[in-house]
Structure formats: structure tokens, C-alpha cells
Amino acid sequence: MKFSANLGFLWPELALPEAIRAAAGAGFDAVECHWPYAHAAEDVASALAETGLIMLGLNTLRGQPGENGLSAIPTRETEARAEIDRAIAYARAIGCGAVHVMAGIAEGPQAEACFLANLAYACAAAPELTILIEPLNRYDAPGYFLSTSDQALALIEQADKPNLKLMFDCYHLQIMEGDLTRRLTRLMPLIGHVQIAAVPDRGPPDHGELDYRHICKLLRDLGWDRPIGAEYKPAGATDDSLGWLPRLQKI
């Protein structure tokens, strides 16, 4: 299996270009990030070119402190679309293939309509990119608009955009729903990216409730051939947390 280092959590002490180099040195096949905007796109692109890694995805900005995205918040459409535009421009500048549009803290039919309109905007603005939506669990992200895979599936079906896909984060969905084997099998045609971390502590994927040897074998058997995102929080130095990587790469 191939793996992507999520540089939102791995090597957090390093500037993004240096974290990209660290991920290459550790044996990752790709990288991804949360919010790269404090770093010049040309510096990030240079590090990617130097290492031969690709940046799989990045997020739209969260908004003001305490917010968790803007795209499902009625009356914030102008700001939401400005952040979508910013994310798309940055992704294009560094050769990144996907943008995760963050919904925000909201609920109800107006929020759903707002989110669908902003997703349609994102999909039309960047037809060459994958636009991702991700359910987040209610413990880490209380009040977040999108929290289950069934809700995400309904949104994707309503939007009916070929480049709108599900970010299947095993950590979040195990907490909210479980039954990941059946969910991965059923949702595979709609999945644009997969992420892993231990449950419940969000540590390295080598302990806890989920057996990632099983998950990786299942993904392989389902035809998944893209890097899986390692989005976990090391307890100490990132380099000391990577014992799982060569073991799962052999699957």
C-alpha cells in the first residue's frame, strides 16, 4: 500500500517545505496538508519537485477563531466562495489534486441548501480537481454540519457533480458509525480519499479499535491504488511514531 503524510499533524515543528522533505526521507509516497496558505506556493512547489512527492489535498480555511469552515453557513456565501477560490488557486499553483471544502458549524435545511450551492460553485470553478467533503465526529468537532457517511452520500447524490467525492476518514467514521468494512465496500465508487488514525486516541495506526492491516487489505481488494492519508497525532517526535509504515506498506 501507498501512504501520504498529513503535514497538518506530522512534523508540525517544521515549515511546510521542510516537512515535505522530511516525509520524503521517511518513505512516504505523497503528502497532504490542512491550511498551507502561510507558505509561499512557489516554495511548496519547489519542495514537491525536489522530492518527487505530490500534494494530494488541502482544506479551505476555517474562518474566524472558533469556526470550522464557512460553506454551510447561510449569509456567509461571499466569504465561503472567496476561500474556495483561494484554495483552488493554491492547489493549482502547487499541482495539488483535491480541495476539501469545510462546511462549518450549522444545521438544518437552510444550511444544507447553502452547502450544496457552495459545493456546486467549487465543482464548477475547478472541474479538473476533486472536491472533497468529510464527515467529522461530534466529539472533536461539535456542531459540525456533516457528521455521517449517509449524510455525505445524500449530499453527493443531490449535488450530482462528477468531481464531488467523499473523504472517508476511518477515525471519524469509526467513532460515529463503525461497520467500516461494509461502509468502505458500499461507498467505494464515491470515495475520493481515505485517511487513517488510531481510535479513540487519534494516534499512529498501530493500536486501538481498528485493525488497519484488515482495512488496508480490504482497500487493496476493492481496487484502491492511491496513497492512504496518515492523519494522526504523534505522542512525541514524528520520526519515532513511524514503525507502522513499513509494515502496512508491505500489504
Active site residues: 134, 231
The DSSP-derived string for 34-95 is S--TTS-HHHHHHHHHHHT--B-EEE----STT--BSTTSTT-HHHHHHHHHHHHHHHHHHT
Upstream peptide bond of 200 is cis (omega within 30 degrees of 0): yes
Beta bridge partners of 131: 99, 164
Helices (H), the chain: 16-26, 41-51, 77-94, 109-125, 149-159, 170-176, 180-187, 212-221, 244-249
Q: 164, 155, 151: which is closest to 121 by C-alpha? A: 164
Grid-cell match 462546511, residue found: 103
Query: Side by side, which strands form the sheet with 130-133?
Result: 30-32, 3-6, 228-230, 191-196, 164-169, 130-133, 98-100, 57-59
Give the single-character DSSP code of 219.
Answer: H
